[in-house]
Amino acid sequence: MKYISLFAIVLTMIFTSPKLLANSQNNNSDEFCGNHLNRFSQQCVGYSYLKREMYFAGSGGAEHTVIVHRMRNHSGAVVGMSLDFVLDTGVSNITNHEHHINNALESFRSAFRNNNFYTYRECDPTIEICCYNGNCFEIYSTPNAQQNEQSDLSHEVTSENPEIQNNRNNRIREIFNDGASLITYIQALRSNSSDATKFRQDLAEDLATESLFTMISTRSDGHKVCINTGTTCEVLSGHVLHSDSFSSADLYHDYGRSVNHSLEEFLYNWFIREMNEGTTCTQSWSCDATDYCQLRLQCQ
């Protein structure tokens, strides 16, 4: 089995943990089904899957995303967990992507310790100020009201308005109080080590039985996907392009079909979430007998 982790840098980490399986009475099934890529297998009927997206702050005003995938067995025990990351480097180009990965993971650990995760929900224009593509609109009394009809609850639409500061692409930011408890099974997050590199290694050793992928994103140099082993990140062949109106990926790797499918799912969800409404996508991918795969995805 091989897993996928994407950092925007973009990072996705997928793993099953020997420590999570320690108290399991059926380690073989739990190990297989703990990998959420296998959740549709007949062997995993009765296992439950949870997917949750949450955000955390990085250095320099950056905002990072973590997507949690969790598997429980028939008795309710957590037997597998994976983390997909979208990490914003906040710079125009990267000379040392390993440094940015370490910093982002340290911010992730800090968010866990202080329970500072948050989420976004859809904005309701009938009761709150909603912003999209940098434009904010007054509150309207009914969903069908004309834009120039303002209710008595209308607010001045300025960037200084605290409501707008928590508003992003027609979504409202809210504190996610259960964020830390959702990933409390990851023992490496409790580490007191001040060495970011060691923490990264501990995280990989604690949870990952397979390779991880990272996607690196900058302000001007675009995005690259690399495989993250916990110590280094080797860039994959191909490219990822992204904008509000057009995004595409053309990537190559030798990690087989399940990873290719997971990579496609991750990129598709990322593109759809960040692009304009009404986006549609086309995709094609193939894998040969040696598990060498190609993925092409285009959204506009």
Q: What is the 3-state secondary structure (H, E, C) of 71-86?
A: EECCCCCEEEEEEEEE
- Label residue 190 by pLDDT band (50, 70, 90): confident
**CB 35: neighbour CB atoms within 10 A?**
25
Q: What percent of the chain has pLDDT above 70?
A: 72
Highest average pLDDT, of 27-36, 72-81, 148-157, 166-175, comes from 72-81
Residue with tokens 């285009």: 298
Stated as kind and residue range, the H or E segment containing 167 is strand 167-168
Residue 287 has pLDDT above 90, yes or no: yes
Residue 64 has pLDDT above 60, yes or no: yes
Mean pLDDT of 243-260: 88
What is the extent of the structural domain holding 248?
Answer: 237-300
CA dist., res. 82 & res. 166, Å (int) = 28
What is the bridge-based pairing of β-strands 135-137 and 78-86?
unpaired
Residue 227 has pLDDT above 90, yes or no: no
Lowest-pLDDT range of 224-228, 246-250, 266-270, 292-296: 224-228
- The more confidently predicted of residues 208 and 70 is 70
Q: Judge if 111 and 254 occupy the same domain.
A: no
User: Residues 80-134: pLDDT tens digits?
Assistant: 887 778 877 766 666 777 888 888 888 999 999 999 999 998 888 888 888 876 7
Tell me which of 188, 220, 235 is where a domain ends: 235
Residue 87 included in any domain: yes
Residue with tokens 């140099």: 221
What the block records as the tokens of 163 is 């409501």
Residue 264 has pLDDT above 70, yes or no: yes
Residue 158 has pLDDT above 50, yes or no: no
Residue 166 included in any domain: no
Under a CB-based contact definition with an 8 Å cutoff, are residues 211 and 81 in contact?
no
Q: Judge if 197 and 229 occupy the same domain.
A: yes
121-156 burial: b if 16+ Cβ within 10 Å, else e: eebebeeebbbbeeebbbbbeeeeeeeeeeeeeeee
- The more confidently predicted of residues 178 and 223 is 178
Tell me which of 218, 235, 252 is where a domain ends: 235
Residue 45 has pLDDT above 50, yes or no: yes
Residue with tokens 């439950």: 48
Residue 201 included in any domain: yes
How many structural domains are present in the chain? 2
CA dist., res. 195 & res. 156, Å (int) = 46
CA dist., res. 79 & res. 23, Å (int) = 9
Residue 208 has pLDDT above 50, yes or no: no
Under a CB-based contact definition with an 8 Å cutoff, are residues 216 and 226 in contact?
yes
Q: Judge if 92 and 193 occupy the same domain.
A: yes
DSSP strands (E only) in 1-107: 6-7, 10-15, 48-57, 63-72, 78-86
**CB 284: neighbour CB atoms within 10 A?**
10
User: Could you tell me how far CA 101 lies from the centroid of its own chain?
Assistant: 14
Angle of CA points 236, 239, 241, to nearest 5°: 145
- The more confidently predicted of residues 206 and 265 is 265
- Kindly report the average pLDDT of the chain as a whole number: 77
What the block records as the tokens of 293 is 């795969």
Q: Judge if 227 and 251 occupy the same domain.
A: no
Question: Which residues lie below 8 Å from residue 134, measured CB to CB, with a gap of 6+?
Answer: none
**CB 62: neighbour CB atoms within 10 A?**
17
